Amino acid sequence: MKILVASNDLTFNPALVSAYRDAGHEVHAGVPNFLLALSEYDIIHFHWPEELVGFGINSANPLRTREVLNLIDRHKQSSVLVATVHNLVPHAADTLDGPETAYFAQFYERMDVICHFSEYSFKRFAETYPNLSCIPQIVHGLNSYDHLLRFAEGPVVARQSLGLPTNEFVFSVIGAMRKPEELSLVRQGWTKAQLSQAHLLLASDPPWNVMQVHHRLIDKAKHHRWLSANRRVRNVGGNLDDRTLVKLVEASDALIVPRFGLHLNSGLVPLALTFGTAVIAPDYGVCSERVPRSANSLYKAGDFNALALALRRQIGLNRERVRSANLHLIRSTGGWANIIASVWPTIKERGRRKGIAAFDKSDAGE
């Protein structure tokens, strides 16, 4: 099969591309390969619809969106179109019925197969787009970040390189925070937990860019006072390269996923589980479904008291058993190879129904 992964994402796409290639397919990647339309593909795998038109207000630009939708229609004649759902509406959308959301609805109605990481995603998608129930939809397990495993050196070496003790508990916050409330949640939860023998690594850029100037200045001052009062909190900063990212994940006993509201998915959860690291995650959706409670701790989103309890609970768990349980989960039920295997029968059925010759010639990928 000739497959295009129509995304420029560099976080999980390398693992997806490798999984397709390991299944015996010819794989190409990148939005430009889709937009230039210089070649035909048996399968086109989409992720964020916004990538095709440009993030932000472009998803509400009828000139940009119509051009992309016409191109999708052209590809649909000779390709099976697969979409993995990451978010229900564009990042710039204010409401479910805004002009940005219209493009998402028109994008998804053109797909042949729609994939979800959780039943929660499937349910929310059905509520948002009730007219698309006729399209085959598949709920599969979590992805994994296997392409990052080449940087793994183990928790002991990772901690030594970061100057962290090997016998004390280490939490970390990694990735961009979306709301100022999430930064406040971390500060309040950590302060409330009173963990005198634990360390917190902040490898995240605070969401000050979304705040008004005077609120930004006030919160910056509050944040610096908080850092000064908490000597076991280390500000690492965001924009990590892959090697540093892996080092931080391996050095951590648990990754905190700060959420003030509800979100469809979180790439932090499979990132942590890929290395066996525990997650402190909000108790809803994909986390409630996929994260084993015996090895990880969930909390009520936005509740700093619940977050503090989750932090204290996690410290009481056996670290080696936690890593073993999380690694078993992601290796047995997660990863792109397992996802492709679960989705492939539906893709093949759609390809044969559309009369695409490659699906009659090869059973590769099953």
Closest among 195, 223, 233 to 310, alpha carbons compared: 195
Q: How far is CA 217 from the centre of its chain?
A: 31
In terms of residue numbers, what domain contains 220? 150-331
Query: Could you please report the per-residue DSSP string of 118-160?
Result: SHHHHHHHHHH-GGGTTS-EEE------GGGGGG---HHHHHH
Amino acid 120: pLDDT: 94
Say whether both 327 and 339 belong to one domain.
no
Q: How far apart are CA 146 and CA 160, in angstroms?
A: 23
**CB neighbour burial string for 216-231, b if at least 16 within 10 angstroms, e if fewer:** beebeeebeebeeeee
CA distances from 83 to 46, 54, 359 (A): 5, 17, 19
Burial of 237 (0-12, 13-18, 19+ CB in 10 A): exposed
Going by their DSSP bridges, the two strands 254-256 and 80-84 should be labelled as unpaired
Exposure letters 41-57 (e unless 16+ CB within 10 A, then b): bbbbbbbbbbbbbeeee
Calpha distance 175→163 (Å, rounded): 21
In a domain, 175, yes or no: yes
> Does 51 lie in the same domain as 186?
no
Secondary structure class of 328 (helix, strand, coil): helix
Same domain, 111 and 172: no
Q: pTM for this structure?
A: 0.91
Identify whether residues 225 and 287 lie together within a single domain. Answer: yes
For the chain, give the longest Cα–Cα distance.
Answer: 66
Residues 226 and 352 in one domain: no
Which pLDDT belongs to residue 94?
59
Within-domain flag for 366? no
Length of the chain: 366
Which among 93, 48, 124, 114 has a CA at the least distance from the CA of 285? 124
- What confidence score (pLDDT) does residue 131 get? 93
Q: What is the pLDDT of residue 364?
A: 44
Query: 40 with 186, same domain?
Result: no
Residue 227: give its domain's CATH number: 3.40.50.2000
pLDDT averaged per 10 residues, the chain (length 366):
95 93 96 92 96 80 90 96 91 66 91 96 94 95 94 96 93 90 95 94 88 90 92 89 96 95 86 97 93 96 97 96 94 92 96 91 52
pLDDT at 365: 44
- DSSP class of residue 201? E
Torsion of CA 124, 130, 131, 132, to 10 degrees: 30
Residues 97 and 155 in one domain: no
Cα gap 319→247, rounded to integer Å? 17
> N- to C-terminal Cα distance for the chain?
12
| Amino acid of residue 78 | S
In a domain, 213, yes or no: yes
Q: Are 183 and 273 members of one domain?
A: yes
Position 321 scores a pLDDT of: 95
The reported pLDDT for the residue numbered 95 is 63
Same domain, 233 and 299: yes
For position 97, what pLDDT does the model report?
67
Cβ atoms of 254 and 174 closer than 8 Å: no
Bridge partners (DSSP) listed for residue 278: 254
**Pair (116, 179) in one structural domain:** no
Question: What does the pLDDT read at residue 90?
Answer: 75
Q: How many other β-carbons are positioned within 10 Å of the β-carbon of residue 158?
A: 22
How far, in whole angstroms, is CA 275 from its chain's centroid?
15
- The CA distance from 285 to 336, in Å, is 20
Strand blocks (E) in the chain: 2-6, 26-29, 43-46, 80-84, 113-116, 137-139, 169-174, 198-203, 233-235, 254-256, 278-282, 297-299
pLDDT at residue 96 in the model: 66
Alpha carbon 126 to its chain centroid, in Å, reads 20
With respect to residue 155, please indicate whether it lies within any of the assigned structural domains: yes
Chain centroid to CA 249: how far?
A: 15
